[in-house]
A = this chain, B = another copy of it.
Amino acid sequence: MALVVQKYGGSSLESADRIKRVAERIVATKKAGNEVVVVCSAMGDTTDELLDLAEQVNPVPPEREMDMLLTAGERISNALVAMAISAQGAEAWSFTGSQAGVVTTSVHGNARIIDVTPGRVTEALDQGYIALVAGFQGVSQDTKDITTLGRGGSDTTAVALAAALGADACEIYSDVDGVYTADPRIVPDARKLDTVPYEEMLELAASGSKILHLRSVEYARRYGVPIRVRSSYSDKPGTTVTGSIEEIPVEQALITGVAHDRSEAKITVTGVPDHAGAAGRIFRTVADAEIDIDMVLQNVSNTDGRTDITFTLSKANGPSAVSELEALKEDIGFSAVLYDDHVGKVSLVGAGMRSHPGVTASFCEALAEAGVNIEIINTSEIRISVLIRDEHVDDAVRAIHEAFELGGDEEAVVYAGSGR
């Protein structure tokens, strides 16, 4: 008898009807002889509706209360799924993150899981019940307040539970049927991958792929939990994220896929005096505002002893980063802060590039041939990323996908949905 953890995202739960379909799948999994634990996100638009209500009563809502508010969404969906399961002949109990033993740090809105002690979940399973656990939430170890886990929190809940329970499988359900070599809505011959090693999935997630959230993949890798990405609309086997690139024989290592990201913007601080400390202060200022930076480019100092410093960041943080830097202008003595939000990032990921030195060259040639200019380039051992004009993103993705022959014979099946 296997123990299976399944996670269903908001779009899989967006109506009473979808909830009943999800319950059917859960009950079928139980009747096949498995112990089943299910993690549900809030229904469809619930989280956005709650955020909207919050904003109407307070434009800057206190974080503790935001967590109390938002966690109602998962409570609702998990209770409804438990009810639907009961109507279909199995028994189920739903639990909040706190009741399921998900213990976290105290950072409201972005808490990290410290420990999972799923005693009540195990008890439910032992009594033959299906256990529903509210995703995206836990309880703070220090304050005992309810916390939420940040973006992708329900995926992380599922993986963390799978690890704590020693589950045989962790299945993440959404409206896409697996991880593809590129976004099928851009590249018609994108191919579904059967498996992807953890390190490549981490790079894909960090490079814009919305299939799985970075934190959940990190957690899965740390605890050795295999993740199956599947569609809640079909019975296809999906993609399994498992294993390390170190286990792949050199000659079999591949180029795996192309990711793209339109969520970043570019900031250039021009005419920065080229003395020790100026660059450090610029980056420290942005870091102190709790803003993460991605790609960085610093021009070689030109003849007048000044340099330009360029970096990318999430568009959401753009305005506040600009204003933090503007405040330093007189002090550091740079010329201007330029903001450009018409950029896009395209990345090629694959363990194979470690042993194939020509990959970077082929990558750049493919882009040049497609008329795409590279503004910043950034690499890791298994990834090449470039910053380009956002209107060129689709062409770039297609050109790279083609150049590395990633396409399959069958036309990719595209489901309506955001890729989550």
Contacts and interface: CB of A to CB of B under 8 A. Distances in A.
A65 interface: yes
A264 B137 CA distance: 45
Interface in A183-223: none
Contact of A82 (B65, B81, B93, B99): B65
A87 B50 contact: no
Interface in A91-128: 91-94, 99, 120
A37 B83 CA distance: 34
A63 B287 CA distance: 50
Contacts of A73: 72
A83 B71 contact: no
A60 B80 CA distance: 12
B80 A57 contact: yes
A359 interface: no
A53 B69 CA distance: 19
Contact of A57 (B20, B66, B75, B93): B20
Contacts of A92: 65
A78 interface: yes
Contacts of A87: 57-60
A34 interface: no
Contacts of A396: none
B69 A23 contact: no
A410 B122 CA distance: 65
Contacts of A285: none
B86 A80 contact: no
Interface string A41-75: 00000000010011011111110111011011101
16 contacts: A16-B53, A19-B57, A20-B57, A23-B57, A53-B76, A54-B80, A60-B87, A65-B82, A65-B83, A65-B92, A66-B79, A66-B83, A68-B79, A68-B94, A71-B75, A72-B73
In the A-B complex, the 8 residue pairs with the closest CB atoms: A16-B56, A69-B79, A58-B87, A57-B84, A68-B79, A72-B72, A58-B83, A61-B83
